[in-house]
Amino acid sequence: MENICVVGLDIGTTSIKGILVDEAGKVLERAEYPIKLVAPNPGWAEENPEDWWNGTLIVLKKLSAFAKEQNLKIRAISTSGQMHSLVAIDKDGNPLHNSILWCDQRTSAECDEITQKIGGRKTALEITGNPILTGFTAGKILWLLKHEPEIFHKTYKFLLPKDFINFKMTNEIVTEHSDASGTAMYDVRTRSWSNTILGILNIDDSKLPKIVNSNSIVGTISHKIASELNLENNTIVVAGGADNACAALGIGVTVPDTAMISVGTSGTVLVPTFKNEPDEDGKVHLFSHVVNNVNYYMGVMLSATNSVEWFNKIVNFNEYDIINAEVDKIPIGARGLFFLPYLNGERTPHNDPNARGVIFGLSSAHNRFDIYRAIFEGVGYGLKDCFVSLKSSGIREIRITGGGSKSKVWVKMIADILGNRIVKVSSTEGAAYGAAILAFSALTGIEPSGISNKWISVVESFVPDEENSKKYEKNYVIFGQLYNLLKELFGRIDKG
């Protein structure tokens, strides 16, 4: 019998990650390639799409070589990817500009212009399910029109990161609903591109990919790439999905009584829903899931593990076993320190691109581990902001994923801050695992949720301590007050 396996790829902000998964959901091999982010100006964030492609080739070569050694046949490849980031390509498929990333904050004026022309914030919510935010793709396209018009007019297609990689593998240009819904150009009611918004951007839908289901087959891998990677010519490439939606599928969060917390570069809290009604306050997002005909509400904080990595660079230290052990010794409240994790502005609940990180309460008695503790807690409070903003009830189970979930100290802290039980599951590969599920779904015709239910089980539970939760609740109030006190000043400081 043929030993079939699939590949799940994640086109992430910090790396390209790939996993090889068998028919039982077991991860057989992993590969990763680091990606360099560049910041030409304060608040800007860019990456070279060709770096993603080079990393993808290196990752796929490693996985393909392992498969050959083990007499395995890779039958399908699926991708997940960072949401919102813009890739502008010419007719030959070459990127015309660095990708402007999801965390880039340069497009405030463009987002305000789109909002005004569309008829205001309420109309934007009705159409896209979200306010028009700086992270989203629409503002980046208008920014190109205004600041790089030559590139704008040369652009053949505007793509998203994973769709660029799928194109490079197949020469086919498509996207799917989960990523399309994060562009601020997608109508959540009709599940199609919004002609109203495209008109404001001075483009039509011919400039954008066709939208398909996440478990749809894009095409087969090109002969050239198949030969280069030592893959079969009939290896299929599957549309895949946005990273957060794939991460949710990858830990079995596909129905409304479950929730996902992802502690990655950014932090997210996600709850599936069968509704297509936006949050009336616009504090949380409404996007399409990778599971057909399911949406999800999501709160996003922009700097979760990114906050820790930022401080690691400051102190030239990244020994996580030591960090976790020392943080665990420090009492709740970090001996009077607070950290506002707004290094790149903040989305939920503030929608404030001007917000900036703050360490508050420093004294000469504090050391670097007190600051680490404050960062852990500050990210926990940011996740609680998201959770509170979702206004969800009837949640049976919260599942956690992302690089930060490797720290038991941090997961227990988050459970105490939220006052909710949190579980870890058998799959630890995040979005790449969700992509692998979509690959297997396309190969077999089995629904993605059915595969995730079969492959994934709960392995560890973190129950909140009532006394700890009370202490955190007092400090959470101060955390919120600090932002409110500083909000006006954030808008006044010179960020040049």
Closest to 99 measured CA to CA, from 180, 35, 175: 35
- Based on the fold, state whether residues 399 and 475 are members of the same structural domain: yes
The predicted pLDDT at position 108 comes to 93
Catalytic residue among 10, 243, 370, 385: 243
Cβ atoms of 230 and 64 within 8 Å: the answer is yes
Query: Tens digits of per-residue pLDDT, 350-409?
Result: 989 899 999 999 999 999 999 999 999 999 999 999 999 987 778 889 999 988 999 999
Please confirm, yes or no, whether 243 is among the known catalytic residues.
yes
Element (H, E) at 289: none
- Based on the fold, state whether residues 237 and 266 are members of the same structural domain: no
The predicted pLDDT at position 282 comes to 85
Closest to 309 measured CA to CA, from 300, 301, 318: 318
Closest to 220 measured CA to CA, from 161, 164, 166: 166
Domain that holds residue 212: 4-245
Kindly state the average pLDDT of the residues 459-481. 98
Taking the C-alpha atoms of residue 272 and residue 464, their distance in angstroms, rounded to an integer, is: 23
Query: Tens digits of per-residue pLDDT, 144-157?
Result: 999 999 999 999 99
Whether 253 has a pLDDT exceeding 50, the answer reads yes
Kindly state the average pLDDT of the residues 56-79. 97
Query: Tens digits of per-residue pLDDT, 166-210?
Result: 999 999 999 999 999 999 999 998 999 999 999 999 999 999 999
Q: How far is CA 199 from the centre of its chain?
A: 28
Closest to 194 measured CA to CA, from 275, 109, 279, 137: 137
224, 245, 266 - which closes a domain: 245
The predicted pLDDT at position 1 comes to 47
At residue 431 the predicted structure's pLDDT band, cuts being 50, 70 and 90, is very high
Determine the 3-state secondary structure of 18 from DSSP: strand
Query: Tens digits of per-residue pLDDT, 202-250?
Result: 999 999 999 999 999 999 999 999 999 999 999 999 999 999 999 999 9
- Based on the fold, state whether residues 36 and 115 are members of the same structural domain: yes
Q: How far is CA 261 from the centre of its chain?
A: 11
211, 245, 279 - which closes a domain: 245
What's the CATH number where 183 sits? 3.30.420.40
Residue 234 lies in a domain: yes
Whether 344 has a pLDDT exceeding 90, the answer reads no
- Based on the fold, state whether residues 90 and 218 are members of the same structural domain: yes
At residue 496 the predicted structure's pLDDT band, cuts being 50, 70 and 90, is low
Dihedral sign from CA coordinates of 236, 240, 243, 244: negative
User: Structure tokens of 275?
Assistant: 């509704």
The predicted pLDDT at position 279 comes to 87
Whether 302 has a pLDDT exceeding 80, the answer reads yes
Element (H, E) at 108: helix 108-118
pTM of the model: 0.89
Determine the 3-state secondary structure of 65 from DSSP: helix
Kindly state the average pLDDT of the residues 322-350. 96
Consult the annotation and say whether 413 binds a ligand: no
User: Structure tokens of 249?
Assistant: 């599928």
Average pLDDT, rounded, for the chain: 95
At residue 42 the predicted structure's pLDDT band, cuts being 50, 70 and 90, is confident
Consult the annotation and say whether 83 binds a ligand: yes
How many domains are contained in the chain? 2
Residue 436 lies in a domain: no
